[in-house]
């Protein structure tokens, strides 16, 4: 039950922060930069946390549940990414669709590797 509460608390905090960032940044440009940003930053953070937790063995299982599973899981959003791509498809905006998909995937995966790499210095 404790572990479930940790995931719940972390997920709520991550979701609330994602909402605030996405609400302010997604309205400013054609591309949903808020969603892109939270997904890339969340990927960097989860890479760092995984590096610290598993490689450095600094974080406990409970800390990993709170931060990686809960916070990062709530902060990042595949469903919003998928919906936004559907909007581009429906509008026939294939250039924005391609840019958004490619940049999300490349930056997200690179951020995970970057987070793991940066965890070596702590």
Could you read off the pLDDT of 53-93 as tens digits, one per residue?
Answer: 887 788 999 999 999 999 999 999 999 999 999 999 999 99
Judged by DSSP in three states, 1 sits in: coil
Show the DSSP H helices in the chain as ranges. Answer: 2-25, 33-50, 61-64, 73-75, 78-91, 94-119
Q: What is the pLDDT of residue 73?
A: 96
Whether pLDDT at 118 is above 80:
yes
Give binding residues as ranges. 73, 76
Q: What is the pLDDT of residue 82?
A: 97
Give binding residues for Na(+) as ranges. 73, 76
Q: What is the pLDDT of residue 122?
A: 87
Q: Kindly tell me the sign of the dihedral angle through the C-alpha atoms of 87, 90, 92, 95.
A: positive
Arithmetic mean of pLDDT over the chain:
95
Does this model's pTM top 0.85? yes
Q: What is the pLDDT of residue 119?
A: 94
């Amino acid at each position: 039950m404790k572990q479930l509460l940790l995931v719940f608390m972390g997920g709520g905090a991550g979701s609330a922060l994602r909402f605030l960032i996405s609400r302010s940044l997604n309205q400013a440009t054609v591309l949903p930069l808020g969603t892109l940003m939270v997904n890339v930053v969340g990927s960097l953070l989860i890479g760092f946390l995984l590096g610290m937790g598993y490689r450095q063995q600094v974080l406990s299982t409970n800390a990993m549940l709170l931060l990686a599973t809960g916070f990062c899981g709530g902060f990042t959003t595949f469903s919003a990414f998928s919906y936004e791509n559907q909007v581009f498809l429906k509008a026939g905006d294939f250039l924005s669709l391609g840019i958004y998909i490619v940049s999300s995937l490349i930056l997200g995966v690179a951020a995970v590797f970057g987070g793991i790499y940066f965890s070596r210095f702590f």
